[in-house]
């Protein structure tokens, strides 16, 4: 360690971002770029020089051409435009679902792990019951009960997803709360909530962060799946799942499903690339 | 004799669930006067740390603590959670063995000391608390305390961390300091510095100290009184001088004989044969008997209590026979 006199601890060293970027593996960099592309698309797609996604702009079922790069669908709408506009639905939903699942699941998991006893028993049994259903089946059931629509599909997905984060956070809290600095904090007179929020939780986020990044793609996929079977977005919304569903009906016009299919693929892959990269950076043990 | 600051009677701690329970501390009695230093010496597993944690209610709920620990007229053992929290860190400060793991790794040292101050003093401003923290670091001889406050525990060296730990324990002006093996994780030169510092600060402020250690050398220079624990009980107790020069109990003698001597020709280190009994399979009679070279038949059937023999109180039935002349 160098002499600590002139090191200001909170100041980031210049070039920290660039150094962090260089540490990412190639796949991680690719993933970040893909996710950034979709994020920018969500915000700016309405200003792009594209055909209106709901307008019938050409002849129906045209294969890809100079005018319509990804062809046209059964109603003569531009598939490229619809695919890019689809991001506006899927990505915010996936983000909101992951965020809600992390918030709800982590809160319950932290309480279960920290307080133990009947709190633990009640929360974790609820999580076990939820996890005992195949996720898509449970999501279908909930979505069908609430009625079709993107919002209900999102609620269904949060219900399916929170137990994963509850378990993750509980395991982490169980490990951290036995550490000596926690005991030291208690010996210093800290109360239970302070111990939990100040001395336990800040050390528990890494696995959740990694898992949430990876799940982002999975949630996007599940959202599309629900729309595919008609429980998510309703036509004519340019949602990827329902677009693929239309494409599946016109099997020989492969381009209809190609656009949204590749969009989903890119997001699932990018999310798992970034998640992997984050794990390599944060969890030193798994690298060896 | 002044009124005791802490009076512990019959402190017993048992662990386990249901019918099967094992006792880690068995009937500990002692008193501590203000400003005095009590050294508790014993091997790993002798119950010394558990006894201290019992007093502060720091053990898991599966531990059952009986007896009493009267601190300033109030019993720590039966105190409610709200009251004990006001005692912890305010009236009684704690120093832990491993200063790295005893700090929260994701908060700066300054943040943690300030937090300790704010916890027990809601009126003080954050600015004043930070100033107080700076002066505390200066008190424990940390150079550039202002900058050091902004650093994380991993940026401190081992000795520095233990100094910071002492600063934190002293933050709220405690009357009693419990130091649980404060120097075990440090190398020998740093160990001496830390002990010096600890002695200086507690003397200046008139803080009573309970110093827990397995190293007789650590307590030798610091303690007014020494208790030697074995298998959850006190086997010998006396002034520091008496323990070192007029000890009766074979276990204490063994500990002293096991210390390397710096004078005279080099010799092979003497160790006490065997290992301490597990708390689940403690032998009847004197717990030390299986390892004791003086043990007689009676030692294996009856467990002796503490009684005064010569300068110390000893729990050995052959204490009178084992005079200074006999080999340890």
* Residue among B90, B150, B155 minimizing CB distance to A1: B155
pLDDT of A264 higher than 60: yes
Query: Quick count: other Cβ atoms within 10 Å of Cβ A2?
Result: 7
Q: Which of B216, B210, B196, B213 is nearest to B4 (CA)?
A: B210
Torsion, Cα of B57, B58, B60, B65 (10° steps): -30
Closest residue in B to A3 (Cα) is B155
Q: What is the pLDDT of residues A139-173, one digit of tens each?
A: 999 988 998 888 899 999 999 999 999 999 999 99
pLDDT of B266 higher than 90: no
pLDDT confidence band for B324 (50 / 70 / 90): low
Which has the higher per-residue pLDDT, A13 or A275? Answer: A275
Task: Please give the C-alpha separations between residue B211 and each of A53, A130, B31, B49, B216, in angstroms, as whole numbers.
Answer: 77, 52, 14, 10, 11
Using a CB-CB distance cutoff of 8 angstroms, which residues of chain A are in contact with residue B58?
183, 186-187
Length of chain A: 288
Distance between CA atoms of A203 and A196, rounded to whole angstroms? 10
The answer to whether A197 and A110 are in contact (CB under 8 A) is no
Which has the higher per-residue pLDDT, A195 or B185? Answer: A195
* Residue among A1, A7, A190 minimizing CB distance to B119: A190
Paired sense of beta strands B37-41 and B208-213, if any:
parallel
What's residue A3's pLDDT?
41
Q: For B139-153, give one letter per residue: b (16+ CB within 10 A) or e.
A: bbbbeebebbbbbbb
Q: What is the pLDDT of residues B237-250, one digit of tens each?
A: 999 888 888 888 88
Q: What is the pLDDT of residues B148-181, one digit of tens each?
A: 999 999 999 988 999 999 999 999 999 999 999 8
What's residue A286's pLDDT?
54
pLDDT of B104 higher than 70: yes
* Residue among A10, A189, A199 minimizing CB distance to B89: A189
Instruction: With CB atoms and an 8 Å threshold, state whether A181 touches B152.
Output: no
Query: Quick count: other Cβ atoms within 10 Å of Cβ B187?
Result: 10
Q: Which of A33-42, B47-56, B294-303 has the lowest mean pLDDT?
A: B294-303
* Residue among A180, A187, A203 minimizing CB distance to B88: A187
Those residues of chain A whose CB sits closer than 8 Å to some CB in chain B are: 1, 4-10, 179-181, 183-191, 194, 198-199, 202-203
Q: What is the pLDDT of residues B65-82, one digit of tens each?
A: 999 999 999 999 999 999
What's residue B177's pLDDT?
94
The answer to whether B164 and B137 are in contact (CB under 8 A) is yes
- Rounded (5°) CA angle B264-B266-B270: 105
Instruction: With CB atoms and an 8 Å threshold, state whether A198 touches B56.
Output: no
Which has the higher per-residue pLDDT, B7 or B260? Answer: B7
User: B 135-164 residues with CB below 8 A of A?
Assistant: 144, 147-148, 150-152, 155, 157
Mean pLDDT of chain B: 88
What's residue B1's pLDDT?
54
Q: What is the mean pLDDT of residues B60-69?
A: 90
Q: What is the mean pLDDT of residues A262-274?
A: 94
Q: What is the mean pLDDT of residues B221-244?
A: 91
Instruction: With CB atoms and an 8 Å threshold, state whether A9 touches B103.
Output: no
**Cα B192 to chain center, whole Å?**
17
Instruction: With CB atoms and an 8 Å threshold, state whether A184 touches B90.
Output: no
pLDDT of B129 higher than 50: yes
What's residue B190's pLDDT?
87
Structure tokens at A65: 């051409």
Instruction: With CB atoms and an 8 Å threshold, state whether B104 touches A190.
Output: no
Handedness of CA A128, A133, A135, A139 (dihedral sign): negative
Structure tokens at B299: 């030692």
Burial of A89 (0-12, 13-18, 19+ CB in 10 A): buried
What's residue A284's pLDDT?
64
In chain A, the domains with their CATH numbers are 27-43+70-283 (1.10.3720.10)
What's residue B189's pLDDT?
86
pLDDT confidence band for A46 (50 / 70 / 90): confident
What's residue A6's pLDDT?
43
Instruction: With CB atoms and an 8 Å threshold, state whether B94 touches A190.
Output: no
Read off φ and ψ for residue B298, nearest 5 degrees: -60, -30
Q: What is the pLDDT of residues A91-129, one digit of tens each?
A: 999 999 999 999 999 999 999 999 999 999 999 999 999
What's residue B147's pLDDT?
92
pTM of the predicted structure, to 2 decimals = 0.80
What's residue A12's pLDDT?
55
Query: Quick count: other Cβ atoms within 10 Å of Cβ B189?
Result: 9
Q: What is the mean pLDDT of residues B201-214?
A: 92
DSSP state of B253: H
Mean pLDDT of chain A: 87
The answer to whether B151 and B143 are in contact (CB under 8 A) is no
Distance between CA atoms of A196 and A119, rounded to whole angstroms? 15
* Residue among A6, A191, A202 minimizing CB distance to B85: A191
The percentage of chain A sitting over the pLDDT mark of 90, rounded to a whole number, equals 53
Closest residue in A to B53 (Cα) is A187
Closest residue in A to B171 (Cα) is A188
pLDDT confidence band for A2 (50 / 70 / 90): very low
């Amino acid at each position: 360690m160098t002499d600590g006199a002139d090191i200001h601890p909170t100041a980031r060293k210049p070039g920290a971002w660039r150094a962090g970027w260089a540490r990412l593996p190639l796949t991680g960099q690719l993933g970040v770029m893909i996710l950034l592309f979709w994020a920018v698309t969500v915000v700016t797609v309405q200003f792009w020089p594209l055909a209106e996604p709901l307008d019938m702009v050409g002849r129906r079922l045209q294969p890809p051409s100079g005018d319509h790069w990804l062809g046209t669908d059964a109603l003569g709408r531009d598939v490229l435009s619809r695919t890019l506009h689809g991001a506006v639905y899927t990505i915010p939903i996936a983000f909101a679902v992951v965020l809600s699942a992390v918030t709800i699941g982590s809160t319950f998991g932290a309480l279960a792990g920290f307080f133990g006893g009947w709190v633990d028993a009640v929360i974790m049994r609820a999580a076990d019951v939820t996890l005992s259903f195949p996720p898509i089946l449970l999501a279908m059931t909930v979505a069908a009960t609430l009625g079709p629509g993107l919002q209900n599909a999102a609620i269904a997905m949060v219900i399916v997803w929170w137990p994963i984060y509850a378990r993750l956070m509980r395991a982490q809290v169980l490990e951290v709360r036995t550490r000596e600095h926690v005991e030291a904090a208690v010996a210093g007179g800290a109360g239970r909530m302070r111990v939990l929020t100040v001395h336990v939780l800040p050390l528990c986020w890494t696995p959740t962060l990694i898992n949430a990044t990876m799940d982002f793609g999975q949630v996007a996929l599940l959202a599309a799946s629900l729309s595919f079977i008609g429980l998510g977005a309703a036509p004519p919304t340019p949602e990827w799942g329902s677009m693929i569903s239309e494409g599946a009906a016109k099997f020989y016009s492969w381009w209809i499903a190609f656009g949204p299919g590749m969009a989903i693929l890119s997001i699932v892959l990018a999310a798992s690339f970034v998640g992997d990269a984050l794990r390599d950076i944060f969890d030193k043990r798994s690298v060896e | 004799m002044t009124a005791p600051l802490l009076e512990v009677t019959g402190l017993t701690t048992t662990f386990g669930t249901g019918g099967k329970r094992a006792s880690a501390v068995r009937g500990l009695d002692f008193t501590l006067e203000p400003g005095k230093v009590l050294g508790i010496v014993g091997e790993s597993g002798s119950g010394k740390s558990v006894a201290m944690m019992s007093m502060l209610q720091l053990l898991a709920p599966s531990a059952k603590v009986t007896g009493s620990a009267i601190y300033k007229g109030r019993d720590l053992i039966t105190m409610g959670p709200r009251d004990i929290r006001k005692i912890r860190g305010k009236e009684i400060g704690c120093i832990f063995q491993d200063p790295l793991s005893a700090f929260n790794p994701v908060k700066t040292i300054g943040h943690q000391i300030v937090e300790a101050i704010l916890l027990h003093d809601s009126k003080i401003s954050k600015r004043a608390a930070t100033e107080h923290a700076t002066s505390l670091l200066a008190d424990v001889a940390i150079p550039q305390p202002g900058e050091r406050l902004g650093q994380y525990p991993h940026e401190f060296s081992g000795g520095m961390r233990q100094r910071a730990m002492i600063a934190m324990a002293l933050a709220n002006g405690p009357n009693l300091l419990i130091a649980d093996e404060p120097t075990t994780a440090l190398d020998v030169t740093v160990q001496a510095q830390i002990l010096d510092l600890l002695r200086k600060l507690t003397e200046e402020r008139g803080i009573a100290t309970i110093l827990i250690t397995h190293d007789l050398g650590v307590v030798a220079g610091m303690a007014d009184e020494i208790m030697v624990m074995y298998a959850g009980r006190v086997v010998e107790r006396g002034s520091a001088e008496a323990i070192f020069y007029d000890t009766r109990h074979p276990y204490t003698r063994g500990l002293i004989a096991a210390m390397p001597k710096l004078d005279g020709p080099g010799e092979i280190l003497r160790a006490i044969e065997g290992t301490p009994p597990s708390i689940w399979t403690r032998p009847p009679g004197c717990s030390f008997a299986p390892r004791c070279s003086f043990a007689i038949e009676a030692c294996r059937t009856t467990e002796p209590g503490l009684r005064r023999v010569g300068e110390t109180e000893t729990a050995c039935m052959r204490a009178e026979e084992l005079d200074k002349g006999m080999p340890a």
